[in-house]
Each structure stands twice: as structure tokens, then as C-alpha cells.
Amino acid sequence: MEEALKAADRAADLTRQLLAFGRRQVMEMKIFDLNEILQNMNKMLTRILGEDIEVKNIFAENLGRVKVDQGQMEQVVLNLVVNARDAMPNGGKLIIETANVELDEVYARNHIAVKPGRYVMLSVTDTGRGMTPEIRDRVFEPFFTTKEKGKGTGLGLSTVYGIVKQSGGNIWVYSEPGHGTTFKIYLPRVDQPLEILQENGVNGEVPRGNETVLVVEDEESVLKITVRILEKQGYTAFGVSRWDEALKLFKQKKEKIHLVLVDVVLPEMNGPKLVEKLREIRQGFKVIYMSGYTEDTVVLNGALEKGATFLQKPFTFGGLAKKVRKVLDS
């Protein structure tokens, strides 16, 4: 009976949030452990998803606290989970993760309205159909939907966006057709003061280098900033957006390239397959795989072997520079 009453109360809270998109409400902001909110929703989410979708929860230990309206945060999670379910009509995997993250000034400059500091990240990933860039760019627009008439209002993700922004957070989406979708939400941590994280890192100077790095990334903005960061740290960096361009450049510079930084998912050929082809030309270079999906997601989906060196996008200046130096020194 007690559980039924809790479920009824939660349902009432969620119903109230259906109006969140239409008008700004007075939010009952309190400090919560996001892991606890997610754990309390677990049974309800399992029922919504059905038997054909496997759920995996990966919750960070010692997760920072966030200041949110519990009912509205539950609405955010519910909408994202329903969206993921609808993207997997034949079943699949849903991965819900939490993590403590630090965003620096470089990241903030390249993402409008994001402030440097310490955040709690919530990510919801599905292994569904994925989205084209055209759909991805419109996904938060009110009344935009790809569902059949009568099966979607087009307000679900708009509501998510509105609640996250009202909570002082930001949301980011990464998707590739045929490879699923990841939504990442960043909420400010309130258990410690937000610090400005300088370009040269949180804990002192970021190590530099003079090696040569080949960057293979199909998203132009990410490619440019990655090359710029590496060059600023003293490296020689070559950036290409296609696998065939990478092969051509590698053949020309094969004796000089010390590290290949490659996206896991590329048009026509994935990152691991490209690395295989590069190693047919020459062995001995180091590899870092990067993706907008989380590491657990790409491993669970079989896109990457467990133990491969991984860098999750979006990354910070310090995060990239330290990872590159660590791999080159290993």
C-alpha cells in the first residue's frame, strides 16, 4: 500500500509537469542526490520500457549534489526514456549514467550559455535508429516530431530542454543514424563552490609535447577545436574528416605520426576498422578513440573492445591534453 501511495504521488507530480513547457512554473528547488531520484524511478521505467529493452544503470559513486525540482527532474528522465523506447521498436539497450565532470573555459567558449565549473552529468543512451544531423538540429523545437500523426505531440524534448534550462543546466545530444542516441544533461554541483577552471587545467600546468598527431573526426567544429588545442600544446596536428583522407595522409606521413585520435563512428568506416587499415601500413603508433557516446555504451554495443583508450566528447582542454600526454608516455 505504501509503495502504491508513493507511486500515486509521483504520478501526480509528473502529471503536473506536463504543463512545464507551456508556462514557467514556480519550481520547488531542493538539494538532491540524482542517483537516489533515478533509483526511485527504476521500477516505473522498467514497466514503461517493457521486456524487449535491457536497462543498464551506471551510477557514479560519491556523486555531487544538485539543486532541482524533483518532480520536474523525474519528468525529464521519463521523457528521455520514452523517447529512447520509441527509437527502439524492436528492442535494444537503454543505458542511464551519472558522473561528476569539470568543464573548463575552452569548453564554455564553444558551447553557448555554459559556464566553467563542476557539474553532475546525467546521460541517457539508446541503441535505436539514431538521427540525421538535420533531425538532431531540430530535436528540441516545440511541436517537432518524427512520429506518425497522433503518436507524438512534439513537446517531449522541448519540455526536457525547458526544465533543464530552468534548473540552471544544459543539455547536449549526440546521434548517428543506425548507432543510437545519447542525451547528456549537465547540472551545476551545489556541494562545493563552482570554480573557474583555467585553460591550463585544474591542478597546475597541463603537460605539453612535440609529437605528431593525426585527428580523424567527421564533425567539423570538433575537428577544428581538437587540432587547435593540440597545436597550442606544442604538437603537430593533422585533421581530416574522412577515413580515405586519413589513409592518404597516413601514407604520406607514416614515419612521423605518433598518435591517432579517431572517432569511433565515422561515415562508411568505423574508427577501429580504420585503425586496422593504418596498422597494415605501419605498426607502433598509439591510438585514442573518442565518441559522443559514453565508454560503457560503445563497449556494450561492441563498437570498441574493453580496455581500448577512450576519450568521451565533449571533452575539456585539460582533459584532451592530459589524455594525449598520458597515452604517448605509456
Tell me, what CATH number does 259's domain have? 3.40.50.2300
pLDDT tens digits, 217-249: 988 888 998 999 999 999 999 999 999 999 999
Q: What is the pLDDT averaged over residues 118-124?
A: 94
CATH number for the domain spanning 21: value is: 3.30.565.10
Residue 246 and residue 145 share a domain: no
Of 110, 270, 261, 302, give the one whose Cα is nearest residue 176: 270
Q: What is the pLDDT averaged over residues 90-115?
A: 83
Q: Which residue has the higher pLDDT, 309 or 148?
A: 309
Residue 239 and residue 179 share a domain: no
In a domain? residue 232: yes
For residue 254, pLDDT beyond 50: yes
For residue 189, pLDDT beyond 50: yes
Angle at 205 between CA 200 and CA 209, to 5 degrees: 95
What's phi and psi for 206, nearest 5 deg? -80, 135
Strands (DSSP E) along the chain, which ranges? 29-32, 53-58, 66-69, 92-103, 117-126, 170-175, 181-188, 212-216, 236-240, 257-263, 286-291, 310-312
pLDDT band at 302 (very low <50, low <70, confident <90, very high): low
Residue 129 and residue 275 share a domain: no
Residue 179 and residue 67 share a domain: yes
What percentage of residues in the chain have a pLDDT greater than 90?
49
**Residue 198 has what pLDDT?**
46
Residue 132 and residue 21 share a domain: yes
pLDDT band at 25 (very low <50, low <70, confident <90, very high): low
111-135 per-residue burial string, b: 16 or more CB within 10 A, e: under 16 = eeebebbbbbbbbbbbbbbbbeeee
Task: Provide the 3-class DSSP secondary structure of residue 93.
Answer: strand
**Residue 116 has what pLDDT?**
85
Q: What is the C-alpha separation between 70 and 32, in angstroms, rounded? A: 8
For residue 1, pLDDT beyond 80: no
Task: Provide the 3-class DSSP secondary structure of residue 20.
Answer: coil
pLDDT band at 297 (very low <50, low <70, confident <90, very high): confident
For residue 151, pLDDT beyond 90: no
**Domain termination site, one of 188, 222, 253:** 188
In a domain? residue 75: yes
In a domain? residue 194: no
For residue 289, pLDDT beyond 70: yes
In a domain? residue 207: no
In a domain? residue 202: no
Instruction: Give the number of domains in the chain.
Output: 2
Residue 21 and residue 158 share a domain: yes
Among 2-6, 78-82, 258-262, the range scoring the smallest mean pLDDT is 2-6
Q: What is the pLDDT averaged over residues 21-47?
A: 81
pLDDT band at 142 (very low <50, low <70, confident <90, very high): confident
* Torsion angle of C-alpha atoms 160, 165, 35, 197, degrees rounded to 10: 140
Residue 172 and residue 79 share a domain: yes
Residue 176 and residue 220 share a domain: no
Range of the domain at 322: 212-329
The amino acid at 192: Q
**Residue 304 has what pLDDT?**
78
In a domain? residue 54: yes
pLDDT band at 192 (very low <50, low <70, confident <90, very high): low
Q: What is the pLDDT averaged over residues 26-51?
A: 88
Task: Provide the 3-class DSSP secondary structure of residue 41.
Answer: helix
Residue 218 and residue 167 share a domain: no
pLDDT tens digits, 44-70: 898 889 889 999 999 999 999 999 999
For residue 260, pLDDT beyond 90: yes
Q: What is the mean pLDDT of the chain?
A: 83
Q: What is the C-alpha separation between 221 and 164, in angstroms, rounded? A: 24
